[in-house]
């Protein structure tokens, strides 16, 4: 997934002064599927590290557009020790997305570290209509204790997770919008216990996929993809998941 080629976006725009504050827009392909009302906002992962950018989610963005969704792939600053810059940028980018045909905000979809940011951004008033978190780092305290990716949490925060409870989804009230979390049982990069702990404290829907690893959730060619699409369609449908 980190090296797979994909179509370029139909257009892009900047939402800030930094080179990493940009959005790629993929438009629906009517020949493949009817256009859907909802806009999808995609937030990539990579343990918040600067070397991993949005390009590895372009195959997913293109496939979602082929499924009928107008899809916005968000790039955001990844500055070790400055987590607020990442979250503030994602919320800022969401505000620049064109409205859906139904005038509702986007469904925000995030993978891994992007799932963490998506869960936080979905708490901002009016930022999203629903959230789909794929293998999210949803419990920073547990992820820190597990030392995921060799200190990724502390590199991101600039210190231990206990110092920033305001950025730990597991310690905050859940978003008021519908949330679905999907995690694979075979995920060795972000163990499913990180999602299970988050979901046990709130009202989020938790979907655990047997025999599924970390990157299969963002791979349109994987066996997990039909579940991802089905859960996304449910969230994006009128009324969403109650």
Q: Look up residue 59 and give its two tokens.
A: 């195959």
Residues 138-171: pLDDT tens digits? Answer: 999 999 999 999 999 999 999 999 999 999 999 9
Provide the mean pLDDT of the chain: 94
Distance CA 127, CA 124 (A): 5
Tell me how many degrees the CA angle 121-162-120 measures, rounded to the nearest 5: 5
Q: Give the residue, 20 or 103, on which the prediction is more confident.
A: 20
Is a pLDDT exceeding 70 seen at residue 198?
yes
Report yes or no: 61 and 26 within 8 Å, Cβ to Cβ.
Answer: yes
Q: What is the mean pLDDT of residues 49-73?
A: 96
- State pTM to two decimals: 0.95
Is a pLDDT exceeding 80 seen at residue 240?
no
Is a pLDDT exceeding 60 seen at residue 241?
no
| Domains of the chain with CATH codes | 11-236 (3.40.50.1820)
Residue closest to 108 by CA, chosen among 242, 239, 236, 237:
236
Q: Give the residue, 100 or 81, on which the prediction is more confident.
A: 81
Residues 22-48: pLDDT tens digits? Answer: 999 999 987 788 888 899 999 999 999
Q: What is the mean pLDDT of residues 39-66?
A: 96
Report yes or no: 182 and 138 within 8 Å, Cβ to Cβ.
Answer: no
Residues 181-197: pLDDT tens digits? Answer: 999 999 999 999 999 98
């Amino acid at each position: 997934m980190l090296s797979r080629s994909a179509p370029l976006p139909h257009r892009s725009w900047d939402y800030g002064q930094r080179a990493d504050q940009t959005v790629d827009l993929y438009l629906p392909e009517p020949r493949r599927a009817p256009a859907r009302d909802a806009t999808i906002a995609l937030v990539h992962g990579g343990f918040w590290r600067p070397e991993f950018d949005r390009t590895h989610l372009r195959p997913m963005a293109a496939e979602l557009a082929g499924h009928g969704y107008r899809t916005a792939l968000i790039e955001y600053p990844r500055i070790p020790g400055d987590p607020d810059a990442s979250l503030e940028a994602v919320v800022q980018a969401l505000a620049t997305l064109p409205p859906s045909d139904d005038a509702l905000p986007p469904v925000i979809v995030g993978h891994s570290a992007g799932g963490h940011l998506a869960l936080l951004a979905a708490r901002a008033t009016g930022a999203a209509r629903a959230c789909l978190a794929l293998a999210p780092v949803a419990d920073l305290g547990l992820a820190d204790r597990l030392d995921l990716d060799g200190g990724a949490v502390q590199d991101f925060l600039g210190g231990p997770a206990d110092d920033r409870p305001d950025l730990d989804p597991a310690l905050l009230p859940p978003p008021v919008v519908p949330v679905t979390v999907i995690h694979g049982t075979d995920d060795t990069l972000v163990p499913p216990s990180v999602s299970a702990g988050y979901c046990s404290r709130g009202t989020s829907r938790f979907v655990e996929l047997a025999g599924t690893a970390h990157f299969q959730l963002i791979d349109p060619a994987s066996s997990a993809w039909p579940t991802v699409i089905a859960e996304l369609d449910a969230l994006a449908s009128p009324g969403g998941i109650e």
